[in-house]
Amino acid sequence: MQQTSECRWKCRLVGALDAVLDSNARVAPFRILLQVPGSQVYSPIACGATLEEINQHWDWLEQNLLHTLSVFDNKDDIASFVKGKVKALIAEETSSRLAEQEEEPEKFREALVKFEARFNFPEAEKLVTYYSCCCWKGRVPRQGWLYLSINHLCFYSFFLGKELKLVVPWVDIQKLERTSNVFLTDTIRITTQNKERDFSMFLNLDEVFKVMEQLADVTLRRLLDNEVFDLDPDLQEPSQITKRDLEARAQNEFFRAFFRLPRKEKLHAVMDCSLWTPFSRCHTAGRMFTSDSYICFASREDGCCKVILPLREVVSIEKMEDTSLLPHPIIVSIRSKVAFQFIELRDRDSLVEALLMRLKQVHANHPVHYNTSADDDMASPVFHSTSMCSDHRFGDLDMVSSQNSEESEKEKSPLLHPDALFTAFQQSGSQSPDSRMSREQIKISLWNDHFVEYGRTVCMFRTEKIRKLVAMGIPESLRGRLWLLFSDAVTDLASHPGYYGNLVEESLGKCCLVTEEIERDLHRSLPEHPAFQNETGIAALRRVLTAYAHRNPRIGYCQSMNILTSVLLLYAKEEEAFWLLVAVCERMLPDYFNHRVIGAQVDQSVFEELIKGHLPELAEHMNDLSALASVSLSWFLTLFLSIMPLESAVNVVDCFFYDGIKAIFQLGLAVLEANAEDLCSSKDDGQALMILSRFLDHIKNEDSPGPPVGSHHTFFSDDQEPYPVTDIADLIRDSYEKFGDQSVEQIEHLRYKHRIRVLQGHEDTTKQNVLRVVIPEVSILPEDLEELYDLFKREHMMSCYWEQPRPVAPRHDPSRPYAEQYRIDARQFTHLFQLVSPWTCGAHTEILAERTFRLLDDNMDQLIEFKAFVSCLDIMYNGEMNEKIKLLYRLHIPPALTENDRDSQSPLKNPLLSTSRPLVFGKPNGGAVDYQKQLKQMIKDLAKEKDKTEKELPKMSQREFIQFCKTLYSMFHEDPEENDLYQAIATVTTLLLQIGEVGQRSSSSGSCSQECGEELQASAPSPEQDSVFADTGKTPQDSQVFPEAEGDWTVSLEHVLASLLTEQSLVNFFEKPLDMKSKLENAKINQYNLKTLEMSQSQSELKLSNL
């Protein structure tokens, strides 16, 4: 009772908050409710703010709904019908409202103005959409506006006089999920590295979450996974992305995943309709999907019926007469003399017109040759090509241009193996028992009966019945053909005659890293099968793998592709196996076969969540599911082929080609469920691995007609006692019955969710590896290094956000070594230098940053890595004085200082320093210091040190020395000891000038001693004369202070260092401790502001130049 009252109190509070904070959330005073007699449940049907409005709703219900209820006998059917009708109306109204909103730009323009004013982003940061919502800060909601842009999630609130701004880059989001808190049952939670933020009270939370999911996925994959990710054409330019584009992308992704079609397919239309299904003798309600090259149908009831019609197979599309029984019908006829009747198609005329246009284009691109021969032997294959020939009747017509092309292709590619390896090597083992052969014949008979009723081509009706046949295991003689049909590789094969033969010719004999890897793995591919114990099978495998690597160099070759291709070659001809491999790598297992196997890791993460949902006790026992993930990775990469006996694993591949990755998920769950008790009692990961390995190694196929073939994964199989055997058919049946409820839509949603986690996991791994290398080499604290890495990465990202890609600043490249994945160019380095460097020099800072970048850019590729960046900062903050002076010195000689340096072009006139001045300086107190003895001793010491130095830095010319002095004066500006430092540097400057003069004279022909003697005999100037710079507020930037030298005036690093050490104030300046943390905190706050300011200025300049 107490819990009930507490829940009521919470509901009232939330309702009150809704009413106060969001006027749109208030409960309407008038409602129409549906109640089934005898039930305590009331379902809201309609609501209205006034009596007149609710009466209008009631009148509509009377006219359109109530009179149809008399046909139902059951009260529950009435309730179900009414609820479904109302939901459909709501969905239609919602979509209409969204379309209307898209067509009214005024509100959006107003929101855009507010977005730009509140967050001050550059114009390139495009606003996609916005929503009214609450952001929860602890238990306190802040009502405001959520702005979703192409690179950021932003929230603004002005509540009770307090302003709140949040800016979260999509690339910083580590988790995006729907959850609940103590007040609300449905919120959207954004998790970054350090914080969690909840957003709620959306009018349409489903829509908001889908848009956020799409934006996060597109942005993360564009910026972090561009190794294999290709954006849809509509999303190639981020600044052009709209909410409608994102919704279209989501529909496209679902469409391609559901029907497992090529990525290039673009969905054009989705519409409700009904399809005549002859096996059930009725019309089946569902939806039609039309794309560039396909017409597809899916029933509303999951698994009831699915049809895929490649336009290449379509002969005609015709409109039929419209009747009351057959409203808005069209007939689609295919080449196997089968017609599909669709009815209840809205806007039928425009649909047929668009389909006919695409049909004409497809036939123009891929001409079809019809076989008019009445000879059944000629008509038996689905199509003629170098690879397709069968004893089983699959269709009545050809699918390629001509028989002549077939013959020419055979002449062109004589090396290709003509048959599936299974047919050539099936008698290598012991003879199969008669009972097994009879079971095989029964299966073939069942499939032939099915073909008669449901179709035998790629256009067949795919129902629950065919799924059950597949789960039993496809007959050996039909396996390769059905794999081609289920994966639709048959269409690719028919559309590209001669393509594979050309690839083989182009790639054969070429040697590179990929071909070396292929050669290394050839003899590891099903070594226990006789087909791969001789050169015939090995050569075919080599050709297929090499041809695919040549076709798709971004994937090239990855381990596990050899095992999969070996099995494909057993049951399909060589060219067929190639196109099956294309289907698996490029659409059925997206992103699996690449440098980082991102796709496999995403599905591993999805699998972990499914384990938690379906096997909670096992998940609770194994706190860290990563151990299971490491074991099951090969299940996904090789479709169980590497860890299960081959005759059993091919049944799994059967299910995979029919149901896609769903089959692997559910079979993995079935394996774990069968071993759950033993796994829960296991003591460590090693024991759990042994349990699973023994179980999988003892899965047998009682129906297999061939001899048993062992698996690759035979360790742990030397059993002391017989281990129980599991039949693969029973395991697959259990997997469908217990875990077959996962839909494609659910799996795709989980993939979106976990792709974020996997990509961010890779980012964390990269970060930790870079820091592990850098930490031992610098004195910066690890936590400060971590902050610096985040700033470094963010600077790279901001340039990806808003700047046109430059050839010297490539995006994040995950295929490179960890330390080289993020690099920055000179402009990006300058921004960071201004934010975090302790050597701030006012207007001179940018020039110093440019010189620092040139110094660090060892390989002169105009990019530097994080390690070089922090090594330089480490010297500035934590180096000894001599290290800091050495760095400053190197910044003022080549390559850091160039002839074209923008601050070193002014000629030198009217020197304030005389080269004839003595080495005696007056002091303000009237005393004088003679540096004559110190100078002689210094030169002697430097001569000795020179012999010990392994690599001496080049000497500094007078022009370079001028720039060195400018930098020092700029560094001292606004320092508390500014006057003392200016006096000290004036003294040192004069000293160094004299040292350079001495060196210059000593290098001339014998005149050094005389000139030096005269110079050293000169009298000391008065204190008034000692003012080296008349105005200490002026630096050498403001006046030219040094003479144009005749000859080679130079000073060395040793001269500079020794001279600076003579002044204690300079020593104190370079040895004082520096606080990095305050700089880092300030940088985090101002990094965006500095970048946006620069971008705004550059855009303003661009606009002015265009006027």
Residue 706: predicted pLDDT: 67
The phi, psi pair for 1090, rounded to 5°, reads -65, -40
Token pair 């699959």 is found at: 394
Of residues 531 and 868, more confidently modeled: 868
User: Among residues of the chain, what percentage have pLDDT more than 70?
Assistant: 75
Residue 193: predicted pLDDT: 87
Residue 53: predicted pLDDT: 82
Of residues 394 and 1060, more confidently modeled: 1060
Least confident of 62-71, 93-102, 637-646, 755-764: 93-102
pLDDT band at 1098 (very low <50, low <70, confident <90, very high): low
Cα–Cα distance for residue pair 278/453, rounded to 1 Å: 8
Cα–Cα distance for residue pair 198/166, rounded to 1 Å: 12
CA distances from 551 to 414, 483, 504, 582 (A): 20, 21, 10, 9
- Reported as a single tens digit per residue, the pLDDT across 649-669 is 999 999 999 999 999 999 999
Cα–Cα distance for residue pair 217/335, rounded to 1 Å: 41
Residue 704: predicted pLDDT: 77
CA distances from 904 to 845, 964, 1036, 1040, 1046 (A): 15, 11, 11, 11, 18
Residue 1004: predicted pLDDT: 56
Phi-psi group of 181: left, alpha or beta (phi > 0 → left; psi -120 to 50 → alpha; rest → beta): beta
**Coil, strand, or helix at residue 699?**
strand
Strand partners, 178: 188
pLDDT band at 426 (very low <50, low <70, confident <90, very high): low
Say if residue 255's pLDDT is above 90: yes
- Whether the CB-CB separation of 539 and 559 falls below 8 Å is answered with no
Cα–Cα distance for residue pair 120/149, rounded to 1 Å: 13
- 274 Cβ neighbours under 8 A, 6+ residues apart: 283, 284, 285, 286, 342, 343, 344
Q: How many CB atoms lie within 10 A of CB 691?
A: 17
| Cα 758–Cα 762–Cα 764 angle in degrees, nearest 5 | 115
Q: How many CB atoms lie within 10 A of CB 635?
A: 25
Residue type, 385: S
Cα–Cα distance for residue pair 328/348, rounded to 1 Å: 6
- Reported as a single tens digit per residue, the pLDDT across 567-590 is 999 999 999 999 999 999 998 998
pLDDT band at 1014 (very low <50, low <70, confident <90, very high): very low
User: Among residues of the chain, what percentage have pLDDT more than 90?
Assistant: 47
- Reported as a single tens digit per residue, the pLDDT across 442-494 is 999 999 999 999 999 999 999 999 999 999 999 999 999 999 999 999 999 99
Looking at 474-597, list the stretches that DSSP marks H as alpha helix, in order from N- to C-terminal side.
Answer: 476-487, 489-495, 499-507, 513-522, 535-551, 561-571, 574-583
Strand partners, 282: 277
User: What is the overall mean pLDDT for the chain?
Assistant: 79
Q: How many CB atoms lie within 10 A of CB 967?
A: 24
Structure letter (DSSP) for residue 235: G
Structure letter (DSSP) for residue 585: I
pLDDT band at 229 (very low <50, low <70, confident <90, very high): low
Of 826, 799, 794, 802, nearest to 811 by C-alpha is: 799
Cα–Cα distance for residue pair 208/1015, rounded to 1 Å: 83
Say if residue 1001's pLDDT is above 90: no
Cα–Cα distance for residue pair 123/446, rounded to 1 Å: 64
Residue 513: predicted pLDDT: 85
Strand partners, 269: 290
Average pLDDT over residues 27-40: 76
| CA 855 to chain centroid | 34
Cα–Cα distance for residue pair 839/1063, rounded to 1 Å: 20
Cα–Cα distance for residue pair 555/152, rounded to 1 Å: 31
pLDDT band at 374 (very low <50, low <70, confident <90, very high): very low
Let me know how long the chain is. Answer: 1107
Average pLDDT over residues 916-928: 45
Average pLDDT over residues 633-642: 91
Looking at 104-139, list the stretches that DSSP marks H as alpha helix, in order from N- to C-terminal side.
Answer: 105-119
N-to-C CA span, the chain:
74
Of 451, 488, 585, 1102, nearest to 803 by C-alpha is: 1102
**Coil, strand, or helix at residue 310?**
strand
Of 561, 308, 665, nearest to 459 by C-alpha is: 308
Burial of residue 488, with CB atoms counted within 10 A of its CB: 0-12 exposed, 13-18 middle, 19 or more buried: buried
Side-chain-side CA neighbours of 223 within 13 Å: the count stands at 28
Least confident of 169-178, 810-819, 843-852: 810-819
Residue type, 144: G
Cα–Cα distance for residue pair 735/750, rounded to 1 Å: 19
Least confident of 230-244, 325-339, 410-424, 739-753: 410-424
CA distances from 172 to 134, 453, 821 (A): 21, 54, 17
Q: Dihedral through CA 671, CA 674, CA 678, CA 684, nearest 10? A: 20
DSSP string, 726-746: EEHHHHHHHHHHHHTT--HHH
Residue 228: predicted pLDDT: 52
Cα–Cα distance for residue pair 696/728, rounded to 1 Å: 10
Q: How many CB atoms lie within 10 A of CB 611?
A: 21
Cα–Cα distance for residue pair 319/336, rounded to 1 Å: 20
Cα–Cα distance for residue pair 658/447, rounded to 1 Å: 15
Say if residue 534's pLDDT is above 90: no
Which run of H or of E encompasses 94? helix 75-103
Peptide bond into 895 cis (omega under 30): yes
Of 918, 916, 920, nearest to 930 by C-alpha is: 920
Say if residue 392's pLDDT is above 50: no
Cα–Cα distance for residue pair 558/521, rounded to 1 Å: 10
Say if residue 745's pLDDT is above 80: yes
| CA 883 to chain centroid | 42
Of 701, 822, 768, nearest to 226 by C-alpha is: 822
Least confident of 611-620, 744-753, 918-927: 918-927
Strand partners, 874: none
Residue 1034: predicted pLDDT: 42
- Whether the CB-CB separation of 1093 and 1029 falls below 8 Å is answered with no
Average pLDDT over residues 365-373: 57
Residue 1027: predicted pLDDT: 36
pLDDT band at 388 (very low <50, low <70, confident <90, very high): very low
Pairing mode, if any, of strands 267-277 and 338-343?
Answer: antiparallel
Token pair 């003629």 is found at: 384
Core vs surface per residue 534-566: b (16+ CB within 10 A) or e: eeebbebbbbbbbbbbbbbeebbbbebbbbbbb
Residue 804: predicted pLDDT: 67
- Whether the CB-CB separation of 396 and 337 falls below 8 Å is answered with yes
- Reported as a single tens digit per residue, the pLDDT across 439-453 is 889 999 999 999 999
Looking at 973-1051, list the stretches that DSSP marks H as alpha helix, in order from N- to C-terminal side.
Answer: 978-1003, 1008-1017
Strand partners, 133: 144
CA distances from 595 to 598, 599, 933, 1060, 1069 (A): 8, 11, 67, 53, 50
Residue 508: predicted pLDDT: 81
Of residues 1021 and 695, more confidently modeled: 695
Residue 871: predicted pLDDT: 95
- Whether the CB-CB separation of 286 and 302 falls below 8 Å is answered with no
Q: How many CB atoms lie within 10 A of CB 185?
A: 11
Can you read off the two tokens belonging to residue 1000?
A: 């210059």
| CA 152 to chain centroid | 16
Cα–Cα distance for residue pair 498/411, rounded to 1 Å: 11
Residue type, 666: Q
- Reported as a single tens digit per residue, the pLDDT across 122-165 is 888 889 999 999 998 877 888 999 999 999 999 999 877 889 99
Residue 753: predicted pLDDT: 93
The phi, psi pair for 316, rounded to 5°, reads -155, 155
pLDDT band at 88 (very low <50, low <70, confident <90, very high): low
The phi, psi pair for 499, rounded to 5°, reads -65, -45
Least confident of 69-78, 377-386, 534-543, 744-753: 377-386
Say if residue 624's pLDDT is above 90: no
Residue type, 1073: P
Residue 23: predicted pLDDT: 37
Token pair 């940018």 is found at: 846
